[in-house]
Structure 1
Amino acid sequence: MVDYVELHAHSAYSFLDGASRPEELAARALELGYPALALTDHDGLYGSMEFAQFARARGLQPITGAELTLASPFAAAGDVPAGTSAGRAPAERGAETGDCHVTVLAENAAGYANLCRLVTRAHMESPRGKPRLDLDALLERPEGLILLSGCRRSPLLAALERGTDEAERLAGRLRDAFGPGNLFVELQNNAVHGDLARGRALGALADRLRIPVVATGNVHYHVADRHRLQDILVAIRNRTTVDDSHELRRPNACFHLASPREMAWRFASRPDALRNTRAIAERCRAFDLTADLGYRFPDFKGSGFAPAMRVLHHVCRGAFEIRYPPGSRYRREAEERLASELALVERHDLAGFFLVYHDILELAREVAHRVRGDSMPRQLLPPGRGRGSSVSSILCYLIGLSHVDPVRTNLFLGRFLNDAMESVPDIDIDFARDIREELILAVYERYGYDHVGLVCTFPTYRTRSIVRELGKALSLPAGDVEKLAKLAEPGEDGFMAELERIPGLEARTNSRIWRVFAELAEEIRGLPRHISQHVGGMIISSRPLVEIVPLEPAAWEGRVLCQWDKDSCDDARFIKIDFLALGMLSLVEEAVETIHLRHGEVPDLSRIDYEDEEIYDRICSGDTVGLFQVESRAQIQMLRRVRPRNLADLAVQVAIVRPGPIVGGAVNPYVRRREKLRNDPDYVVPYDHPLLEEALGETLGVIIFQDQVLQVCKALAGFSDGQAEGLRRAMSRKRSREALLGYWTAFRDGAAAKGVNGPTARKVFEQVVAFSEFGFPKSHAVAFGLLAFQSAWLRDRYPPEYYVGLFNNQPMGFYSLDAIGRDARRHGVGVRLPDLNVSEVACTAEEGDVRIGLGMVRDWGAEAAELVVAERDRDGPFASLPDFLRRTPAALKRAAIENLVWVGGLDSLGIERRDLLWQTGLWLGPEAETEAERRRRELATGAAGLGGDAPPPARGRRGAGRSDQGQTELALGDPYADLRFAGTHDMEKLIAEYRLLSFAASHHHPFALVGDRLPERTVSSARFPDLPNRSEVRVAGIVVARQRPHTANGYIFILMEDEFGPVNAIVRPEVYRECRAAIRLEPFLYIDGTLQKDGATYNVLAGGVYPLRLSPELRTVRETVPATTDRLAESDPFAESDPFAYLEALRRDPPPTMSWGRGGGCR
């Protein structure tokens, strides 16, 4: 057996350089017989925990290290980077700057801590995305580290090029700092020109100085075939093509993980370099990343340093007497629940954990008070609300982390706390957006910046990024690439099969370069692209976090990211605190405050009637656009069938339209059984086995909640707490399906022991595995169901205030502002255009309507709007256009002023919009905006869309615009001032609103302007109740949402809207294949199909889907309308008889949400 261990390997976490996943490297190492493997990604430990967990579980010793970038000690003008000639760029990363690389391995825990500090320093003291260390910084922290001199970009090679004396001096500095035996001269032989000469020179240097040598492979992919992908990644990183990146790419395919035998052949002349790899690996056994981190959650230091358990008991008892006073219906059960949970807390030593959370919640109250100011109504609201499994805990309820009584709602605790838990419980808290931002800063200040970090996430290559970046790197035709990016949805059969399915691209399958593209697309799919910030996770540590995981700056100034994602943090047993921003909480806070300001009352949402029949009637009718969690197309249709009548029903409703219950086949059986119970109270609910009745009784024999998975496994298969805990952890991780499948044998054997036959066990287990897709625990569903009801109650009782909050807190939920505005009008709440003398910065309630805020107009923003509103409040309304232009700050550019004019913001002055635009140009003059601003303005308004605004301004007659001191209006005549222009048409106003407000704020519905030009035989949604079931119909509408859930077997769901209401269309896979381009890209569609009626639910089963703009009626119009894009000097393309121009304008610049997506979700 050859003594060799690879000590220098890069994974895909060497972003856009390594071409294999950590687990691929580990698996290949095992195939080749390696006893150990080091992962040494560039300037980071991003994949180290994932690698260590995978390797350790399979008997491979993982070695933790990194390749650090050093600023060249020899950088000077005219220097040529080591290993290159003046005319040839090097292939190694960082060569373009002359930076050097060294390889650093952690021998023990002290070394690992120093490695984390070095990586952190490289990131924190360098420009973002360009980490590097000075040599002196490296030499300051040698303890516990083994230093390999580096690859072809090593500082030793750079020194050798300057002379032997320089190299000996540098080697001596490194040896003196790290100590004898901790510095190794790294030799590499990848069949690259010059490798043998470099190896001889480095070996001779090492022998003279008696420094040991070590062989490494500088691995960048696990098998040689992956070299093509590595070439692609290099081209992408350098923003060029493969053809133009020859000198940037590695020269051959010899940077794979070679076998020990192959490495022995490469280094036959230096067997000592091979033996030393095994010796180093043995030394690194002293540190195990999976067990030796030394992480501790901060200790609780309150109440005079009394024992944490005593303090927690005191806090809970005080709240208990308030929540469950003597005589309370649930007091006895709550006493038992509290005693049980406190016992679990003591057993797992979690008292300090809960008290730190209590401390953070008190900190949140302080932050909320600062953010809310003197607002009495908002001060009455809690600073945040719990979500997830923590809502099931009476401890969380009593210390204020949850707002749901788990005893009253009968919530299962086992998913949150249990006897066998191996990691700390997960507590997620939702906050209003403004509170969350300030709270994160406050946590940094409370616990120290060295002790707090945000959890990261790694965006990966998905279809569109794959197609666009790979297509560019391979120099494929831009038109084909863009078409494929917009239409591709490759399945298990891959990109080549997808090319065959897309009209116009079928012939590409005969091209060799396109076949290469398809192969590389499968290899790159899922690889990480870069580091990003997790939605809300924070890590707090009593020990400096910088010694446990490297940190680097977040895009959010003043925050830092740790280099591990949530799964790695979980494996490290970190306590992750999730501070999540929930837009609906911001809406509720704003609505409550607006209600108080307008009506002098403060609704107490904790005391409203949660059995209100009227609210449930409206929910059951599907009138839920803009409501929390129950507004999607699927939810609306399910509401009409399930018909929830209380909060328990609403919790089921929130949870049932999720991939877990859908894939598990729970939805239709639940709906049918509920309907049968409604019609026959004596109906007996069937169960797959009698043992499941207790666990599944409330959901009528099917699994809907995630915690029911654990209950089912215990009841049917006799799972222990430990097995159930493992199952819980598996469900919450990436690739959870594979993990869950690993429990089948234990499940089958356990079920058999309880007398359950094989087919029944498999049927139930398939439902269990379905929850690898995603499902809600009951506690989470109850918390969200409560908020769903509160949102429905607020909208019903205070509609203007609710819609104001909805407008001001976008993005949120499922629908665009366009759809929300039309829904508001259906509920009697008008939407008023911005008004210079009435509007505030944000939207406000005005009588029974919503007044659009100035800050929503394109090019304004909150800061400019605040200045204008402050000026108006100080010196009174603006009396005229000149008065406004004199008093408005110079920061408000001409484009912004014209945008406000276009959307009616100055209509109250009594002057036509085009006249106002003309006068604005006369007042400000053409020099008031730069050429770049003019191009941006014309692009924003559209030469063809809003091009008829005014003739060119009067050739430089005015000055350069306003100063901060304003201008004095001269009483001089102007020969052009009396010119008057045609008024704006309704269609033109609508286009302006879409482009400058992103939605139609006026009363016009798009189809009201083109209704007489719709395709022949088109029926409106208003006629659906009168048409027979299975009628053949043609419908048309503006697309609100398109969905293709992966749980729907290839079916597409399109939600459209015509002038009278929503139109739901269902598209079969074969129709989608024929009409894919229209379905994915067109904002206006007409559909031929069959009307399906199920009570009050209407669907159109599509037989054909077509672009509305290509209907024969609109084509005829197009031929008769002048196709001009010039300004007023020529024909106006916005005559009301031209719906085609309207449709074309919106097709070029549609409302923001008119795009393909899976829809839904709470944001």
Structure 2
Amino acid sequence: ILYQEQVMKIAQVLANYSLAEADELRKAIGKKKQDVMERHQARFVEGAAINGVNPNLASKLFALIEKFGGYGFNKSHSTAYALIAYQTAYLKAHYPVQFMAALLTQDMGNQDKTIKNIAECREMGIQILPPDTNESHPDFAVVEGGIRFGLGAVKNVGLKAIESVIEERNQGGPFKDLLDFCTRVDGSKVNRRVLEGLIQCGAFDFTGIERSRLLASLEEVTRLCGASQDPNQLTIFSAAPGGGVRTFDFSNIQNHVPWDEREKLRREKEALGFYITGHPLDRYKEEVKRFTTSSIQDLTQLTDKTAVRVAGVIEELKIKRTKRGDKMAILTLEDQSGSTEVVVFPDVFERSSALLKSDEPLLVAGMAEVDEMVAKIISQEIQSLENVRQAAIRLIELSLARDTLSKDQLEGIKDVLYRYPGQSSVVFKVETDPGKRMVIAAHPRYNVFACREMIQELETLIGQKVVCRYGEKNSNHRLSQHP
């Protein structure tokens, strides 16, 4: 069944419906009026029986008509949308980068859709580049290497500020650095808050200077540019006193604290509303694959009341009280594919309240409630994904190269292992001859707590990647025991 007109014809021919009755059935299907549909089912089966149609067969046919209500339209509507679907599919297949840039621009004001669109770009192999004051336009744009974020997507950057930046760029050429930018743009339109947002989202990454260093230098840079005392208003002059050219050594910033990847992403999200250059879950690819049952985007494809485990970071948290005065929470959980609502009732909230106030990736287990393509999770357990990861690692492998193996290196490894005691076994793969390795299990007293800090220290020492194994200890290994 493709069109509503077919349903009307079936009802007329098989069940002796009048045109008015058939149209009423069509409306009931379209609006999913269950009480009206139940009345029509009895009427349909009775009418079909008069024409010699078996009641069981008539009931099956009516069930197909009900199913049709989930996707069916009238013929003229379906034809128009079929043409649009064909045109859209053609553009996406033959001009994927241009298509996705246009889609991102269209959905710029919708955070959930933008997150999904960015995820789809990555799946398609299209690189999403952060905003750039030398390259970005108001909207998303196709550039060599991918899609460049539009300046219009940056929070607190209004149209006047964007127009001012682009106008100056067109007239005076590319900006050399942050100082050059502040010197040239109209300070009445590009204020301190705008500059902070542009730095944090990566719009000055072309300078090769760390975002943290640029932000730390902002006070001094704006002073050199003639900024007023109002931190939200830059009265920036186009030239230095006496007509000289200003220079600034960004390497001499005092009290500069570098950002780790987590802080960089947090500030990027703060400036844009979503992540571009990475996601907090990226470092947990193996764990997400191993411990989750679904991505957030795929929750809507599940049947109602399905048990699920999903990973994500908290985007929004609302703490409430029940009628009995107990604390509970409703949070928005986000992964690379989208976001969903998670309900945390008092018993779960009591066990996980500290985790809910952190910004670390979580593993949420619970029941998916799915209703008409909208899904939410009723949580039953919330855990730190890092803690789940560490508890699941049963063994770590260290590969040692014969050319670089030394007593100092072994002592350094021993020191690291002693400083991180835990439950995970340690195995050495030692190169004995070119192409040959001996596998040696360390004594249980060297078992470790396989946190990321320990892994990083070991990788620095041995100059190679440390392999983490999940599952049973020493599985799939024939080991020589360390004395």
Question: CA 1:864–1:967 in structure 2 vs 1: closer, same or farther (change >3 Å)?
Answer: same
Query: Secondary structure of 1:750's match?
Result: helix
Max radius of gyration: which structure?
1
Alignment of structure 1 residues 971-1050 onto 2, 5 Å: 978-980=252-254, 981-1002=256-277, 1004-1010=278-284, 1018=287, 1020=289, 1034-1035=291-292, 1039-1040=296-297, 1042-1043=299-300, 1048-1050=303-305
Identity of aligned residues (%): 25
**Aligned counterparts of 1:1054 and 1:891: Cα–Cα separation in 2:** 47
Distance 2:454 2:83 in 1: 48
After TM superposition, give the deviation of residue 731 of structure 1 in Å: 3.5
TM-score norm. by structure 1 comes to 0.26
- Go from structure 1 to structure 2 and tell me whether the alpha carbon gap of 1:1063 and 1:912 turns closer, same or farther (over 3 Å shift): closer
Aligned in 2, Cα 1:915/1:798: closer, same or farther, shift over 3 Å?
A: same
Change in CA separation of 1:771 and 1:820 when aligned onto 2, cut-off 3 Å: closer
- Secondary structure of the corresponding residue to residue 291 of structure 2: strand
Pairing partner for 1:1085 from 355, 359, 363: 363
CA distance in structure 1 between the partners assigned to 2:282 and 2:114 by the alignment: 18
SS in 2 for 1:877: coil
The corresponding residue for 2:231 is 929
Q: 1:723 aligns with which of 21, 40, 62?
A: 21
- Note the C-alpha offset of 1:897: 0.7
Whether the 8 Å CA contact 2:293–2:308 is kept in 1: the answer is no
**Partner amino acid, structure 2, of 1:928:** D
What one-letter code is carried by the residue in structure 2 that aligns with 1:984?
A: W
1:532-565 CA distances to partner (integer Å, 9 max, x unpaired)? xxxxxxxxxxxxxxxxxxxxxxxxxxxxxxxxxx
- TM-score scaled by length of structure 2: 0.57
Q: Structure 1 residues 711 and 854 mapped into 2: Cα distance closer, same or farther (>3 Å)?
A: same
CA-to-partner distance for each residue in 1:579-601, whole Å, 9 max, x for gaps?
xxxxxxxxxxxxxxxxxxxxxxx
Quick check: 1:969 aligned with 2:240?
A: yes
Question: Taking structure 1 as reference, are residues 1106 and 866 closer, same or farther at Cα in structure 2, changes over 3 Å only?
Answer: same
Q: Is the partner of 2:252 in helix, strand or coil? A: coil
In the aligned structure 2, how far is the partner of 1:1036 from the partner of 1:1108? Answer: 16
Cα distance in 2, alignment partners of residues 973 and 873 from structure 1: 22
Aligned-partner residue type, residue 978 of structure 1: N
Matched, 1:1111 2:381: no
| SS at 1:743 equivalent | helix
For residues 726 and 858 of structure 1, do their structure 2 counterparts lie closer, same or farther at Cα, with a shift above 3 Å needed? same
Deviation at 1:791, TM superposition (A): 2.9
Report whether the alignment pairs 1:820 with 2:94: no
Partner of 1:151: none
Query: Would the aligned equivalents of 2:312 and 2:362 in 1 still touch at CA under 8 Å?
Result: no
- Once residues 726 and 1110 of structure 1 are traced to their aligned partners in structure 2, the CA distance between those partners, rounded to angstroms, is 57
Inter-partner Cα distance in structure 2 for 1:888 and 1:1063: 37
Closer, same or farther: CA 743–736 of 1 in aligned 2, 3 Å: same
* SS at structure 2 position matched to 1:845: strand
Q: 1:761 to 1:882 in 2, by over 3 A?
A: same
Per-residue deviation, 1:753: 1.8
> Residues 801, 882 of structure 1: CA spacing in aligned structure 2 closer, same or farther, 3 A cutoff?
same
* Cα shift at 1:741: 3.3
What pairs up with 1:472-551 in 2 under 5 angstroms?
none
- Whether contact under 8 Å (2:311, 2:385) holds in the other structure is no
Shift in Å at residue 1049 of structure 1? Answer: 4.6
More strand by share: 2
Determine the C-alpha separation between the residues in 1 that align with 2:33 and 2:134: 57
1:764 aligns with 2:61: yes
Structure 1 residues 242-281: aligned runs within 5 Å: none
Counterpart amino acid of residue 999 in structure 1: F
CA distance in 2, matches of 1:1115, 1:800: 42
The CA distance in 2 between the partners of 1:744 and 1:814, in whole Å, is 43
1:386-408 CA distances to partner (integer Å, 9 max, x unpaired)?
Answer: xxxxxxxxxxxxxxxxxxxxxxx
**2:281 is paired with a residue of what secondary structure?**
helix
Show the counterpart of 1:1051.
Answer: 306
- Paired residues for 1:675-714 under 5 Å: 703=1, 705-714=3-12
**Quick one: which amino acid aligns to residue 870 of structure 1?**
E
Q: Shift of the alpha carbon at 1:845?
A: 1.0
1:24-63 correspondence to structure 2 within 5 Å: none
Amino acid aligned to 2:262? M
Q: Is the 8 A contact 2:196 2:215 kept in 1?
A: yes
Cα shift at 1:1087: 6.3
- Asked if the contact 2:111/2:273 (under 8 Å) is kept, the reply is no
TM superposition shift of 1:846: 1.0
CA distance in 2, matches of 1:1049, 1:977: 57
Q: Is the 8 A contact 1:1035 1:1088 kept in 2?
A: no
Listed one character per residue, the Cα deviations across residues 446-484 of structure 1 (whole Å, up to 9, x for unaligned) are xxxxxxxxxxxxxxxxxxxxxxxxxxxxxxxxxxxxxxx
Alignment-mate amino acid for residue 210 of structure 2: E
- Partner in structure 2 of residue 886 of structure 1: 183
1:3-18 to structure 2, matched below 5 A, reads none
Report the alpha carbon displacement of residue 1038 of structure 1 after superposing the two structures with TM: 6.6
**How far is 1:1088 from its partner?**
11
Cα pair distance change 1:812/1:842, threshold 3 Å: closer
Residues 1043 and 902 of structure 1: CA distance in aligned 2, closer, same or farther (over 3 Å)? same
Change in 2 beyond 3 A, CA 1:1136/1:1052: closer
Map of 1:217-256 to 2, 5 A cutoff?
A: none
Contact 1:1084 1:1107 in 2 (8 A): yes
Relative to structure 1, the CA distance from residue 996 to residue 731 in structure 2 (aligned partners, 3 Å threshold; closer, same or farther) is: same
Where in structure 2 are the equivalents of 1:1092-1131 lying within 5 Å? 1106-1109=382-385, 1111-1113=387-389
Q: How far does residue 900 in structure 1 lie from its aligned partner after superposition?
A: 0.8
The 2-side partners of 1:711 and 1:811 are apart by: 44
Q: Distance in 1 between matches of 2:336 and 2:19?
A: 48
CA distance in 2, matches of 1:765, 1:1037: 34
Q: How far off is 1:1053 after superposition?
A: 7.1
What is aligned with 2:324?
none
Matched, 1:736 2:40: no
2:211 aligned with 1:913: yes
SS at match of 1:708: helix
Aligned-pair CA distance for 1:810? 0.8
Q: Distance in 2 between matches of 1:814 and 1:836?
A: 22
Shift of 1:873: 0.8
Between the aligned partners of 1:911 and 1:976, the Cα distance in structure 2 is: 8
Q: Identify if the C-alpha distance between structure 1 residues 819 and 725 changes in structure 2 by more than 3 Å, giving closer, same or farther.
A: closer
In the other structure, the counterpart of 2:467 is none
* Gap runs ≥5 in structure 2: 314-334, 339-344, 368-378, 393-419, 421-450, 456-483
Aligned partner of 1:792 among 89, 94, 114: 89
Decide whether aligned partners of structure 1 residues 866 and 1137 sit closer, same or farther in structure 2, where only a CA change above 3 A counts: farther
Could you tell me which residue of structure 1 aligns to residue 198 of structure 2? 900
AA at the equivalent of 1:962: T
Does the aligned pair in 1 maintain the 2:310–2:364 contact within 8 Å?
A: no
Change (3 A) 1:917 1:1083: closer
Q: Residue by residue, what CA displacement relative to the aligned partner does 1:755-781 show, whole Å, maximum 9, x if unpaired?
A: 123343344334445566664445544
Q: Which residue does the alignment assign to 1:864?
A: 161
The alignment covers a number of residue pairs equal to 344
Instruction: Give distance in 2, aligned partners of 1:1062 and 1:978.
Output: 37
What amino acid sits opposite 1:1111 in the alignment?
N
Look up the SS of the partner of 2:292 in the other structure.
strand
CA–CA separation in structure 1 for the residues paired with 2:247 and 2:127: 42
Residues 919 and 977, structure 1, Cα contact 8 Å, conserved in 2: no
- Is contact 1:1086-1:1105 (8 Å) kept? yes
Seen in structure 2, the aligned counterparts of structure 1 residues 1057 and 803 have a Cα distance that, compared at 3 Å, is farther
**Structure 2 CA distance for aligned equivalents of residues 797 and 788 of structure 1:** 14
Q: How far apart are the structure 2 equivalents of 1:785 and 1:856?
A: 32
Match of 1:802 in 2: 99
| Closer, same or farther: CA 1041–1138 of 1 in aligned 2, 3 Å | farther
